[in-house]
């Protein structure tokens, strides 16, 4: 109807008044038609608008969910993946290795003497240090197609697929060089180095037989310990043939927990003679350990394990008490020397503990000497 009215109005000759009336009628028809069309489709429009609003809300909720997921998987300080995300990725790597044999390596990284760095420069500078290290390592790891995350505190972790174990050692050494090249000042190390460095422990998937997911991290942690014990600012690859890394060391660790209670630990005394007078001036107490079947365990094996696990603290107290109670009570021996680990010396209350033992046994402190072992650095932790 509107179309016909328009054609007639446009092509049929007429007066101005006629055209105005016709135009008004046209507009009225258009308005009425629009109103009728709206009323007939109002419900459809409402459904469309509601669907559009629901779609917008769904998209917003999805984006918020993705943002929350990213936050739950991201370390807020460094922006790296956090431990939760890395553990999930580790399970993926592990599953792939078990199913199709794609080997991978795990690398644990610890910032050397970071507690001293915090004590010297403050926690804000400590945070900046971690951010610098994280950014540098993140850029470096990209060329190896690996994943890096913050594993907690000043510790980072790297996962990377590779075919040979030599490749993971190359990455580990590159990590040390990358952090060293940052040249971040650290003046309170007391080891002759004045910049921030890292110690790195690496492990490589070897055989699926009896393998467990946690084992590769455990092996990397052992290698990290050896890197620290070896002077820091270096990388170590887990070696199952190394006595300090082998499963035997874990058996020794378990044995040390029951050694005192089961009388598996003992002391032997080595005389210290004056070469001029040939007189025994003192004796040195040496700790010995045996297995449950009576087999002797060399000190070169169990002492490092005791230091690594902290068992050296209880063993050390036992040794001092035993020496004071059994040998120094005898006036025939002037001085007894006892080996003491740097870990013991750093333990709060060590001096008080020794004083208590001397007081209880009635032994003069001048008759007890300490010889500091050289197995670990003074600043191991």
Which residues are known catalytic residues?
Answer: 154
Domain end residue (candidates: 214, 237, 260):
237
Q: Is 37 inside any structural domain? A: yes
In a domain, residue 92? The reply is yes
> In the beta sheet, which residues pair with residue 159?
106, 147
Residues 206 and 305 in one domain: no
315/287 Cα distance (integer angstroms):
9
Q: Is residue 219 domain-shared with residue 306, that is, in the same domain?
A: no
Q: Are 115 and 232 in a shared domain?
A: yes
pTM greater than the 0.75 cutoff = no
Report d(CA 41, CA 125) in Å as an integer: 66
> Tokens 């460094």 appear where?
78
- Nearest CA-CA partner of 221 in 268, 157, 163: 157
Identify whether the C-beta of residue 237 lies closer than 8 Å to the C-beta of residue 223. yes
The residues near 375 (Cβ < 8 Å, ≥ 6 apart) are 229, 303, 304, 307, 341
| Helix 299-309 / helix 247-258 crossing angle, nearest 10 deg | 80
Number of domains in the chain: 3
Judgement on whether residues 108 and 233 belong to the same structural domain of the protein: yes
String of DSSP letters for 154-191: TEEEEEEE-SSHHHHHHHHHHHHHHHHHH--B-TT--S
Is 271 inside any structural domain? Answer: yes
Tokens of 281: 């001036």
All residues at 6 or more sequence positions from 292 whose CB lies less than 8 Å from its CB, including other chains: 255, 262, 264
Q: Do 115 and 172 lie in a common domain?
A: yes
Looking up residue 95, the CATH number of its domain turns out to be 3.30.70.270
Give the residue numbers spanning the domain of 212: 83-237
Q: Supply 141's token pair.
A: 């790891």
Q: Which of residues 237, 256, 289 is at a domain's end?
A: 237
Selection from 179, 145, 177, 149 nearest residue 161 by Cα: 145
Let me know whether 363 and 320 are in one domain. yes
Q: Residue 275 is part of a domain; what is its CATH number?
A: 3.20.20.450
Q: Are residues 283 and 194 in the same domain?
A: no
- 87 and 233 both lie in a single domain: yes
For residue 60, is it within any domain? Answer: yes
Task: Report residue 378: phi and psi, to 5°.
Answer: -65, -30
271 shares a domain with 365: yes
Report yes or no: 175 and 200 within 8 Å, Cβ to Cβ. yes
Does residue 147 sit in helix, strand or coil?
Answer: strand
The answer to whether position 242 is within a domain reads no
17 within domain boundaries: yes
**Domain ends where: 41, 70, 99?**
70
Which residues, other chains included, contact 381 with Cβ-Cβ below 8 Å and sequence gap of 6+? 115, 343, 346
Q: Rounded to whole angstroms, how far apart are CA atoms 193 and 172?
A: 20
| pLDDT score recorded for residue 213 | 79
Cβ 220 vs Cβ 107: under 8 Å: yes
- Tell me if 42 is assigned to some domain: yes
Please tell me whether residues 218 and 298 are part of one structural domain. no
Residue-by-residue pLDDT tens, the chain, 381 positions: 555 555 555 555 555 555 555 566 667 766 777 766 766 666 666 777 778 778 887 777 777 666 665 667 899 999 999 999 999 999 999 999 888 888 999 999 999 999 889 988 999 999 999 999 999 999 999 999 899 999 988 999 999 998 888 899 999 999 999 999 999 999 887 777 899 999 999 999 875 544 677 888 888 988 898 888 778 899 999 887 765 555 566 778 888 889 999 999 999 988 887 767 777 778 899 999 998 888 888 888 888 888 878 889 999 999 999 998 887 666 777 889 999 988 888 888 899 999 999 998 888 888 899 988 765 444 444
Residue 379 in domain = no
Please tell me whether residues 252 and 233 are part of one structural domain.
Answer: no
Same domain, 232 and 87: yes
* DSSP-H helix ranges across the chain: 2-11, 16-72, 83-100, 114-121, 123-142, 165-182, 213-229, 247-258, 299-309, 311-322, 342-346, 350-361
């Amino acid at each position: 109807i509107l179309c016909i009215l328009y054609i007639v109005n446009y092509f049929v000759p007429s007066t101005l008044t006629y055209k105005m009336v016709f135009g008004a009628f046209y507009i009225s028809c258009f308005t009425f038609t629009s109103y009728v069309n709206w009323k007939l489709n109002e419900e459809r429009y409402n459904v469309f608008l509601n669907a559009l609003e629901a779609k917008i809300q769904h998209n917003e909720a999805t984006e918020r969910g993705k943002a929350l997921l990213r936050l739950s998987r991201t370390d807020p300080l460094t922006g790296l993946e956090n431990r939760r995300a890395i553990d999930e990725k580790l399970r993926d790597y592990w599953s792939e290795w078990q199913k199709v044999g794609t080997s991978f390596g795990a690398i644990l990284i610890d910032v050397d003497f970071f507690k001293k760095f915090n004590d010297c420069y403050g926690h804000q500078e400590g945070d900046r240090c971690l951010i610098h290290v994280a950014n540098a390592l993140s850029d470096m790891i990209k060329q190896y197609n690996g994943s890096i995350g913050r594993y907690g505190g000043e510790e980072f972790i790297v996962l990377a697929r590779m075919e040979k174990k030599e490749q993971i050692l190359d990455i580990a050494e590159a990590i040390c060089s990358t952090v060293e090249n940052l040249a971040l000042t650290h003046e309170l190390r007391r080891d002759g180095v004045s910049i921030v460095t890292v110690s790195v422990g690496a492990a490589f998937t070897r055989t699926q037989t009896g393998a467990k997911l946690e084992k590769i991290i455990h092996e990397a942690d052992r290698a990290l310990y050896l890197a620290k014990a070896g002077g820091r600012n270096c990388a170590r690859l887990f070696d199952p043939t190394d006595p300090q890394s082998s499963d035997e060391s874990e058996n020794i660790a378990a044995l040390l927990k029951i050694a005192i209670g089961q009388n598996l630990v003992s002391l032997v005394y080595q005389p210290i003679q004056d070469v001029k007078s040939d007189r025994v001036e003192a004796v040195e107490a040496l700790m010995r350990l045996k297995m449950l079947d009576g087999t002797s365990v060399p000190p070169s094996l169990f002492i490092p394990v005791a230091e690594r696990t902290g068992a050296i603290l209880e063993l050390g107290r036992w040794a001092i008490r035993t020496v004071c109670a059994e040998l120094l009570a005898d006036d025939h021996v002037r001085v007894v020397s006892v080996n003491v680990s740097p870990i013991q010396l750093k333990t709060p209350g060590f001096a008080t503990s020794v004083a208590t033992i001397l007081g209880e046994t009635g032994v003069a402190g001048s008759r007890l000497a300490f010889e500091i072992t050289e197995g670990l650095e003074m600043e191991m932790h």
